Structure 1
Amino acid sequence: MVIDWSQPVFGVAVFLLGACIGSFLNVAIYRLPRGLSVNEPKRSFCPYCKKQIPMWRNIPLVTWLVQRGKCAECDAPIAARYFIVELLTALVWLGCWFVFPDPAQAVFFMLLSAILITISAVDIELMLIPRQLTITGTLLGLGMAALCPEFLGEVVWWKGLLKSFYGFAFGWVGLWLVVLLGKLAFGKRSFEFDEPTEWMLREPETDEEELCFVIGGEPIGWSDIFYRKSDRLLIEGVVYVHVDGERRDAEVIEIKDNIVHIDGDEFPIGSLKSLDGKARKAIVPREAMGMGDVDLLGMLGACFGPASLLFTIFAASVVSIIWAVFNRLGFGRLMPFGPSIIAGAVLWVFWGQDLWLWYLQTVGVY
């Protein structure tokens, strides 16, 4: 007996399962970047009052609508992201089930889409990509290449696995070189003022925020400043500095590896209650992009092979430019590069080879 997987009953089941998976993804989106376990506590909890949510009040899609986007215990607003992720996951899983007739490919894309949705949500919210997710996606791609080598155009399992590994290596190393060259070309941002200007380290007020360096009223997140131990923040032309409220005189202040250096004295960031002062200049390290983007492109290379990488990064750049134009016109907000890379990979899956061939013919290369 041959099972007709296109029957509506299977579609309904996949949609409902996708909504439940989307509910779990919301847990991962909140907990993973904050170093929390996705298993403990087992039940979801309100990010404001921290009270656990009972099963009967944690029904995907329905609960958020019934409670009008608010916690039933403390009446605090629950972000629309929770409903959007559940609905998006349900719709994407339904689409994967019917677009890809091979059940193995359908399941692969369903699992991969769950990882990509989680990565996009975390990157948009916190500007970072948890490495646990990209490692999981890379293993998924390698496993798919070994079990179904024809997915990457091969017939032998080890050739499929090798092509997947090449995709990971080329994607990771290629974008890592871009990050390295970007660091050399654009690795510093200088703030200079005619008059002494106030600066401070601002402590996070909620779990959603991070420690910030603020100068001239502009906050810069700690993760945007420090990526590696060699990064250092310099504050020059110092008029004075307050260390835990105590005034000190200094000429230069250096912050490196979470240690504040002031005239030979060292102060661990974690032990300070406050740090502020006035200065005329600050030199802040910065990156062309984060290492999370490098891991992400390596993961996508493992999933779709090395042939997909050039198109993916080209399409991602186009998507970022288009989004930047909308942002300059007052629509939307600044967006990290990760979601653009994912959009480029989606374009590759559905239209990549045809679009790439059309582009090469248009510019006269092919």
Structure 2
Amino acid sequence: MTFLLPWAHPLYGFTALLLGAAIGSFLNVAIYRLPRGLSVNTPKRSFCPRCKNPIPMWRNIPLVTWLVQRGKCAECDCSIPVRYFVVELLTALVWVGCWFYFDDPSVAVFFMLLSSVLIAISAIDIELMVIPRQLTIAGTILGLAMAAWHPEFWGETEWTRSLLKSGFGFAIGWVSLWFVVLLGKLAFGKQSYAYEEQTDWRLKEPESDEEELCFVFGEEVIGWSDIFFRKTDKLLIEDLEFVRVDGIEKKVETVVIRENEVTIDGEVFPIEKLSSLDGKARKAVVPREAMGMGDVDLLGMLGACFGPASLLLTIFAACLVSIVWALFNRLGFGKVMPFGPSIIAGALFWVFWGQDIWQWYLQTMGV
């Protein structure tokens, strides 16, 4: 890249701060819309998730608006989560940090864009425990583009070799974690809930855009995204006293629930056409995963961005972060954390320290 001013000039840092805050505002749109199946382009203007009123441009200034309105909608006075402010502030600071830390403008811009994708992934995964594939695809394309544009970043002089490294990193990252998911499915693929007496169960409809359909069995409340990961997954309800379909009670033996339909003694009911489904039973068998496919896509994306050599240390650091967080969680601090943010923390470890450790290891082994 050719710049009129030296890259270290404060003007670029100030520009990075403003652009970072603006990108953070857009990330908030993506964080809300993508996991809910909404377009990030339509409607073009941001809106309040409660009253649905569009937010005018003059009342949508990054960082400033949330502070001035004290974290509330100007129309309906509902609370706007602090996450909106945090994402804008974090993105702005990270963009300035990339400008300050990386001397090469191409590398700095690459990390600015990649960090934006990772911030969005972390926010969505923490809130909903899901990683939209649109974001991992965007990050993978970014990694492949960086390999083709700037082979020196990969320690290569020819773009074909760096692009091959990037593609190989994606393949190794995706396949290796996919095997973990597959083995986890075989080892821990089902969880049974059993009661001595007949117990109420039902499908609980979401009460807002922030919630999802849930299966409630006794005291257990399980979100749809925690049950269904692939088309073959099914939830079995057995030892039934009865089932009620739209208020009509039936005597049945088994109920099989899939992501989009319910089968009751061979009769199929589309879930979207049911107004209610409940009953009493003693046993339910729920599918579950060791981790989601979003984590697989994420590690593949990071392999495309940093190459196959980064993956081992990334996963090692991610596991350490997860263990430490689990200990804090056991002590009553924080909440259950998905694996995605830990993988991202592992990638940060690779960027700042992992490469030096890897080079030391290669030298020690005489490679």
**For residues 174-185 of structure 1, what are the structure 2 equivalents within 5 Å?**
174-185=176-187
In structure 2, the partner of 1:317 is 319
For residues 277 and 360 of structure 1, do their structure 2 counterparts lie closer, same or farther at Cα, with a shift above 3 Å needed?
farther
Q: Distance in 1 between matches of 2:51 and 2:170?
A: 42
Instruction: Quote the residue 2:337 is aligned against.
Output: 335
1:242 aligned residue: 244
Q: Give the aligned partner of residue 126 of structure 2.
A: 124
The one-letter code sitting in structure 2 at the alignment partner of 1:146 is A
Secondary structure, aligned partner of 1:161 = helix
1:8, CA displacement in angstroms? Answer: 2.0
Superposition deviation, residue 9 in structure 1? 2.3
**What per-residue deviation string (whole Å, max 9, x for no partner) do you get for residues 290-328 of structure 1?**
000000000000000000001111111110110111111
Cα distance, 1:358 vs structure 2: 7.3
Alignment partner, residue 265 of structure 2: 263
| Equivalent-residue separation in structure 1 for 2:361 and 2:286 (angstroms) | 40
Q: Report SS of the residue matched to 1:335.
A: coil
Deviates more, 1:138-147 or 1:249-258: 249-258
> How far apart, in 2, do the equivalents of 1:258 and 1:38 lie?
25
Following TM superposition, by how much is the alpha carbon of 1:257 offset from its aligned partner in structure 2, in angstroms? 4.6
Contact 2:143 2:301 in 1 (8 A): yes
Alignment partner of 2:298 out of 291, 296, 299: 296
Higher mean alpha-carbon deviation, 251-260 vs 353-362, is at 353-362
Q: Residue 313 of structure 2 aligns to which amino acid in structure 1? A: F
Residue number in structure 2 paired with 1:284:
286
Spell out, residue by residue over 1:236-261, the C-alpha distance to the aligned partner (whole angstroms, 9 max, x if none): 11011111111111121111352211
SS in 1 for 2:121: helix
Instruction: Judge conservation of contact 1:315–1:344 (CA < 8 Å) in 2.
Output: yes
Match of 1:15 in 2: 17
Query: What is the CA deviation profile of residues 82-111 of structure 1, one whole-angstrom value per residue up to 9, with x for unaligned ones?
Result: 000000000000000110000000000000
The whole-number CA distance in structure 2 between the counterparts of 1:150 and 1:13 is 26
Q: Distance in 1 between matches of 2:53 and 2:200?
A: 40
Q: Does 1:170 align with 2:175?
A: no
Q: Please name the residue that 2:230 is paired with.
A: 228
- How far apart are the structure 1 equivalents of 2:4 and 2:199? 74
- Which residue of structure 2 aligns with residue 47 of structure 1? 49
Residue aligning to 2:80:
78
Tell me the residue number matched to 1:352. 354
Q: Distance in 1 between matches of 2:293 and 2:123?
A: 17
Tell me if structure 2 keeps the 8 A contact 1:167–1:301.
yes
Moved over 4 A (4+): 355-362
After superposition, the C-alpha distances for 1:150-188 in whole angstroms (9 at most, x for unaligned) are 111111110000000000000000000000000000000
Counterparts of 1:235 and 1:171 in 2: how far apart (Å)? Answer: 37
Q: How does 1:73-222 map to 2 (within 5 A)?
A: 73-222=75-224
* Kept in 2: contact 1:232–1:255 (CA 8 A): yes
Shift, 1:359, TM fit:
8.5
Gaps of 5+ in 1: none
Letter matched to residue 308 of structure 1: S
CA contact (8 A) 1:235 1:279 kept: yes
| Alpha-carbon displacement from aligned partner over 1:67-88 (angstroms, at most 9, x marks no partner) | 0000011100000000000000
**Separation (CA, whole Å) in 2 of partners of 1:361 and 1:181:** 34
Partner of 2:38: helix, strand, or coil?
Answer: coil
Q: Distance in 2 between matches of 1:21 and 1:89?
A: 7
Deviation at 1:357, TM superposition (A): 6.6
Q: For residue 12 of structure 1, report the CA deviation from its aligned partner.
A: 1.4
Residues 212 and 219 in structure 1, CA contact (< 8 A), matched pair in contact too: yes
2:328 aligned partner: 326
1:253 maps to a residue whose letter is V
Other structure's SS at 2:131 match:
coil
User: Could you tell me whether the CA contact under 8 Å between 1:167 and 1:305 is conserved in 2?
Assistant: yes
Please say if residues 230 and 257 of structure 1, whose CA atoms lie closer than 8 Å, have aligned partners that are also in contact. Answer: no
Q: Is the 8 A contact 2:224 2:259 kept in 1?
A: no
Q: Closer, same or farther in 2 for the Cα pair 1:183/1:141, shift >3 Å?
A: same
When the two chains are superposed, the root-mean-square deviation of aligned CA atoms in Å is 1.8
Decide whether the 8 Å contact of 1:115 with 1:133 is kept in 2.
yes
Distance 1:355 1:6, change over 3 A: same
Gaps of 5+ in 2: none
TM normalised by structure 2 equals 0.96
Question: How far has the Cα of 1:353 moved from its partner?
Answer: 2.7
CA contact (8 A) 1:231 1:285 kept: yes
Give per-residue Cα distances to partners, 1:337-365, cap 9 Å, x unaligned.
10100000011000113345778999x99
